[in-house]
């Protein structure tokens, strides 16, 4: 017998913490300057902390102070350890050139990351001499078209990506802004606000919030806390409060910016809109990211069955065992999203009466039930002479 003693059996897992996933690996292309022996232009770098960026010659008071500010905001929000793929390009490089699918900038960064990047941010240092068009630096509007083409190209290759653009040099006139709810750029979002009064939006903040939240999470969720405690500006340098009467109009044109709430400190993102019609299922960045995750999970299952034998029943229909096996594999994959709160539910259907013998094609129907969002809360309140129990 051993000496009398007290023994504690420590249980682990009670906090239900989730492992870090690669649902939203972040990429960033930004204006910058090469630093001899440390960082070169047009080259991809994988970093995990602000100190990693400093090791590359990106410092607060150096020649890359512009991008440092955005990386600092990213890591302050995402936390040290968050994966980021970074490429610096010459200051003269336009957004339109950065995001051109036929070019060597975004395409190279996405390829070097092996298709892991799910959200790509773009930042261009403002010279202050840009030509205004539809309320912004005209380069922004041409870049939106290129960004959608880039994202579509990679989505078709099972490497889906969404793109966040800075709405540089806002004119300050709401009527000038292009109405993007009449377009269909549902893989692109445009941010019009920052925290320093500069001509470039705080893309690093958006990317940071996205990096540490689940795919279904709206970046404007109030319960996640203020994204900025003290001040917020549009990219014309004016405080966001200066156009408070026009917030709804700016929002209704499809842009993301920062707002405040009465009797609540700090600033919050307005929403997670993409530049498309309100009737588009993917007018929300979160909805797009959820679909991307579901597609990739289903792809990982189905690719294992590609060109496999499909046993048939005597009546020429697909054998029930095959259907049950495929459905079970897909359902198990999608259940991980439901368990993580990414989806409310999902179902998989395979019609046994398919002519796969003649066509070689097997049709699978996957239905996803997303989570809802309490964007508008209407309360009926009044006095009464009695209370119902």
Q: 143-168, pLDDT tens digit by residue?
A: 999 999 999 999 999 999 999 999 99
pLDDT tens digits for 113-138?
A: 999 999 999 999 998 778 889 999 99
Tokens standing for 151? 């994202």
Name which of 380, 359, 364 is nearest 316 in CA terms.
359
3-state class of 211 per DSSP? Answer: helix
Q: What is the pLDDT of residue 8?
A: 53
Q: What is the DSSP string of 278-324?
A: TTSTTSBHHHHHHHHHHHHHHHHHHGGGTT----B-TTSSBPHHHHH
Mean pLDDT of 210-218: 94
Q: What is the pLDDT of residue 17?
A: 42
Q: What is the pLDDT of residue 22?
A: 52
The answer to whether residue 311 scores a pLDDT higher than 80 is: yes
What is the percent of the chain where pLDDT is above 90? 75
pLDDT tens digits for 330-377?
A: 999 999 999 999 999 999 998 888 888 888 888 889 999 999 888 888
Q: What is the pLDDT of residue 15?
A: 42
Mean pLDDT of 304-319: 84
Q: What is the pLDDT of residue 3?
A: 61
3-state class of 109 per DSSP? Answer: helix
For β-strands 44-47 and 117-123, DSSP reports them as unpaired
Name which of 104, 119, 128 is nearest 151 in CA terms.
119
**N-to-C CA span, the chain:** 63
Our measurement of the distance from residue 164's CA atom to the centroid of its chain's CA atoms, rounded to an integer in Å, reads 8
Assign 378 a pLDDT band (cuts: 50, 70, 90): confident
Q: What is the pLDDT of residue 243?
A: 96
Of 242-246, 288-292, 361-365, which range is least confident?
Answer: 361-365
Q: Kindly report the length of the chain.
A: 389
């Amino acid at each position: 017998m051993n000496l009398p003693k007290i023994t504690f059996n420590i249980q682990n897992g009670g906090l239900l913490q989730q492992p870090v996933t690669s649902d939203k690996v972040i990429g960033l292309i930004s204006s910058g300057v090469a630093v001899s022996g440390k960082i070169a232009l047009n080259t991809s770098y994988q970093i995990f902390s602000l100190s990693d960026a400093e090791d590359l010659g990106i410092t607060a008071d150096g020649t890359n102070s512009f991008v440092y500010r955005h990386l600092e905001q990213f890591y302050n929000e995402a936390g040290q350890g968050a994966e980021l793929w970074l490429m610096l390009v010459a200051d003269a490089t336009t957004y339109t050139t950065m995001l051109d699918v036929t070019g060597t900038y975004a395409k190279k960064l996405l390829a070097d990351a092996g298709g892991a990047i799910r959200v790509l941010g773009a930042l261009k240092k403002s010279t202050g001499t840009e030509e205004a068009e539809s309320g912004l630096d005209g380069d922004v509007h041409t870049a939106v078209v290129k960004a959608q083409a880039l994202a579509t190209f990679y989505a078709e290759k099972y490497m889906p990506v969404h793109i966040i653009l800075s709405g540089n040099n806002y004119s300050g006139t709401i009527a000038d802004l292009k109405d993007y709810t009449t377009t269909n750029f549902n893989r692109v979002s445009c941010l019009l606000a920052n925290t320093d009064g500069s001509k470039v939006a705080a893309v690093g903040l958006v990317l940071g919030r996205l990096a540490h939240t689940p795919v279904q999470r709206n970046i404007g969720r109030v319960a996640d806390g203020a994204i900025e405690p003290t001040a917020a500006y549009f990219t014309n340098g004016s405080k966001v409060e200066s156009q408070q009467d026009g917030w709804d109009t700016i929002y209704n044109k499809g842009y993301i910016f920062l707002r405040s709430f009465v009797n609540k400190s700090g600033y919050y993102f307005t929403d997670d809109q993409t530049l498309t019609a309100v009737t588009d299922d993917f007018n929300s960045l979160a909805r797009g990211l959820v679909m991307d995750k579901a597609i990739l999970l289903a792809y990982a299952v189905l690719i294992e069955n590609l060109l496999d034998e499909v046993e048939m029943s005597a009546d020429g229909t697909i054998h029930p065992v095959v259907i049950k096996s495929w459905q079970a594999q897909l359902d198990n994959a999608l259940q991980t999203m439901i368990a993580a709160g990414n989806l409310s539910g999902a179902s998989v259907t395979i019609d046994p009466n398919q002519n796969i013998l003649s066509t070689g094609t097997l049709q699978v129907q996957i239905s996803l039930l997303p989570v809802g969002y309490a964007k508008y809360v209407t309360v009926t309140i009044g006095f009464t002479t009695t209370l119902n129990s």
